[in-house]
């Protein structure tokens, strides 16, 4: 029997507390005008002190499992994508697993930053098609707000990021009609580690010396993200457009066959540029960055759930997704919802 993986359930969660650009004006040297003009972001959700990445992921996961019409005991694997883990180790997937109360299943954490969710979806698809697993929970979740430099040194990064979580359940189904079945049709994954230091957090890390982190490094702000924004912008635009074209071609579709584009949300200008390069009508691109900022690995499942709730995305539609992020990593996915 041939198998396909169908996205049977989606869920998402953002912490209730909203920080508008005007709130940020009071906290750091920035303006609503600068943020909106350069990024399109109007507000983001940030957690209160006691909330962790796995807490956000738990709420999103429960919703995804419920929407899939499953019980949590039906899940046989968790794939967790985050760059803002609860702790250095073990992976946050294990903390989520304990909170969900589903012991003795496989848990895999992946570190692909903004591209993490598509990498996770791709891994889930391969496990499901192989026949080894039936229902895989793929989660992307981030708590960025606890790790942002709010001084003038870090303001180019601090204004961009929000907290949130998104989750999907990929379920094993029999492949009957490859053209019509709801299924993950293709995924393409890429990286170029030559650009690893264009967007990274240097410390703590054993490449920093015997101590991994010390007071001098903390004073220098090396525990915070360091970003070459212009380089990220240029590569993101090029790579997202490139991999979308490639994945459509490989899957035997024209770009015009795609009903909805769910791009990673790093900057509204990046997404507009990609749409312009590929002549994609803006109304086919579902953007959420205005409300959430960049939620990294959570962005695409969060957008998927919002698009479904808004009725923009419907069962049977053809969806294309593309993401770009630290690593550099980039990826695309095409699925029938
Ligand atoms: C971050 C980004 C919006 C910055 O835009 P930019 O046009 O490249 O801006 P620059 O970094 O050149 O800074 C321009 C000026 O704004 C200032 N600035 C930076 N951050 C600011 C902020 N939050 N508020 C106000 N001014 C700010 C800079 O100090 C600089 O001032 P100067 O001209 O007096 O030196 C843009 O580079 C970007 O979106 N890059 C991609 C980022 C991304 O996608 N990251 C996530 C990847 S997944």
Atom of ligand 1 nearest to the CA of 156: 20
Global pTM value: 0.97
Report the pLDDT value the prediction gives residue 75, as an integer from 0 to 100: 98
| Distant-in-sequence, close-in-space partners of 115: CB < 8 Å, separation ≥ 6 | 189, 264, 323, 324, 325, 327, 329, 330, 331
Query: Is 90 exceeded by the pLDDT of residue 317?
Result: yes
Active site residues: 114, 264, 294
Tell me how far the alpha carbon of residue 88 lies from the centroid of ligand 1, in angstroms: 29
- Check: CB of residue 43 under 8 Å from CB of residue 291: yes
> Which residue has the least CA distance to atom 47 on ligand 1?
325
Alpha-carbon gap, residue 27 to 316, rounded angstroms: 45
Q: Which atom of ligand 1 is nearest to the CA of 325?
A: 48
pLDDT at 153: 87
From 21, 38, 82, mutation site for ligand 1 pocket: most ligand atoms within 8 A of C-beta? 38
CB 73 within 8 A of CB 104: no
Name the token pair of 73: 């005991």
Please give the DSSP secondary-structure letter assigned to residue 134: S
Q: How many angstroms does the Cα of residue 230 sit away from the middle of ligand 1?
A: 8
292 membership: H or E segment, kind and range: helix 289-292
Closest residue by CA, ligand 1 atom 26: 30
**Angle of the 229-251 helix axis to the 268-277 helix axis, nearest 10:** 40
Q: Is CATH 3.60.21.10 what the domain over 184-336 is classified as, yes or no?
A: no
pLDDT at 152: 86
Q: What's the CATH superfamily of 3-174?
A: Thiolase/Chalcone synthase (3.40.47.10)
Residue at token pair 């989606």: 10
The residue contributing the CA closest to ligand 1 atom 8 is 230
Helix (DSSP H) and strand (DSSP E) numbers for the chain: 11, 13
Domain-wise residue ranges, the chain: 3-174, 184-336
The CA-based angle 1-72-180, given to 5 degrees, is 35
Query: Sheet containing 106-110: which strands, arranged edge to edge?
Result: 3-13, 164-174, 135-142, 77-81, 106-110
Pairing type for strands 164-174 and 135-142 reads antiparallel
Residue 111 pLDDT > 90: yes
CA of 159 to the centre of ligand 1 (A): 10
3-174 and 184-336 in the same fold: yes
C-alpha of residue 162 to centroid of ligand 1, in Å:
17
What is the position in ligand 1's atom list of the atom closest to the CA of 157? 1
Nearest 10 degrees: Cα torsion 114, 44, 234, 28:
-120
Maximal C-alpha separation, the chain: 61
What dihedral do alpha carbons 245, 251, 255, 257 form, nearest 10°? Answer: -170
Q: What is the residue with the minimal CA distance to atom 17 of ligand 1? A: 156
Q: How far apart are CA 118 and CA 41, in angstroms?
A: 23
Query: 72-103, pLDDT tens digit by residue?
Result: 999 999 999 999 999 999 999 999 999 999 99
For residues 33, 36, 38, 44, the Cα torsion angle rounded to the nearest 10 degrees is: 130
133 CA to middle of ligand 1, Å?
44
β-pairing, 77-81 vs 135-142, is parallel
pLDDT, one tens digit per residue, over 147-187 is 999 888 899 999 999 999 999 999 999 999 999 999 999 99
* Index of the ligand 1 atom closest to the CA of residue 199: 47
The torsion defined by the Cα of 323, 27, 38 and 230, in degrees rounded to 10, comes to -60
pLDDT tens digits, residue range 21-71? 999 999 999 999 999 999 999 999 999 999 999 999 999 999 999 999 999
pLDDT, average across residues 219-236: 97
- Strand pairing partners for 64? none
Q: Model confidence over 119-146: pLDDT tens digits?
A: 999 999 999 999 999 999 999 999 999 9
Ligand 1 pocket, residues with Cβ under 6 angstroms: 30-31, 34, 38-39, 114, 155-156, 159-160, 199, 227, 229-230, 232-233, 236, 266-267, 294, 325
Beta bridge partners of 173: 4
Q: Which helix (H) or strand (E) holds 11?
A: strand 3-13
- Stretch 253-259: mean pLDDT: 96
């Amino acid at each position: 029997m041939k198998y396909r993986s169908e996205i049977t359930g989606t869920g998402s969660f953002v912490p209730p507390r909203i920080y508008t650009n005007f709130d940020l004006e009071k906290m750091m040297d920035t303006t609503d005008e600068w943020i909106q003009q350069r990024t399109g972001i109007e507000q983001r959700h940030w957690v209160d002190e006691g909330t962790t990445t796995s807490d956000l992921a738990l709420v999103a996961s429960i919703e995804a499992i419920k929407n899939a019409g499953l019980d949590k005991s039906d899940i046989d694997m968790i794939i967790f994508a985050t760059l803002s883990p609860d702790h250095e180790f073990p992976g946050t997937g294990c903390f989520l697993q304990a909170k969900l109360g589903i012991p003795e299943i496989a848990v895999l954490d992946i570190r692909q930053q903004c591209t993490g969710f598509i990498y996770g979806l791709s891994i889930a698809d391969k496990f499901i098609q192989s026949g080894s697993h039936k229902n895989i929970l793929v989660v992307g979740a981030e708590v960025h707000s606890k790790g942002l430099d709010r001084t003038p040194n870090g303001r180019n990064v601090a204004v961009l990021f929000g907290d949130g979580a998104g989750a999907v359940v990929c379920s094993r189904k029999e492949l009957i009609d490859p053209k019509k079945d709801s299924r993950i049709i293709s995924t393409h994954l890429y990286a170029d580690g030559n650009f690893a230091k264009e967007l990274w957090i240097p410390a703590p890390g054993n490449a920093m010396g015997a101590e991994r982190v010390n007071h001098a490094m903390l004073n220098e702000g090396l525990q915070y993200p360091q970003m070459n924004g212009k380089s990220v912008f240029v590569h993101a635009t090029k790579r997202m457009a490139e991999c979308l074209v490639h994945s459509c071609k490989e899957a035997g579709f024209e770009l015009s066959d795609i009903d909805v584009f769910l791009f990673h949300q790093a900057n509204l200008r990046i997404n507009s540029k990609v749409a312009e390069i590929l002549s994609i009508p803006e109304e086919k691109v579902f953007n959420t960055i205005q409300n959430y900022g960049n939620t990294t690995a959570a962005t695409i499942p969060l957008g998927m759930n919002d698009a479904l709730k808004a009725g923009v995305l419907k069962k049977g539609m053809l969806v294309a997704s593309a993401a770009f992020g630290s690593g550099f990593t980039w990826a695309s996915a095409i699925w029938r919802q």
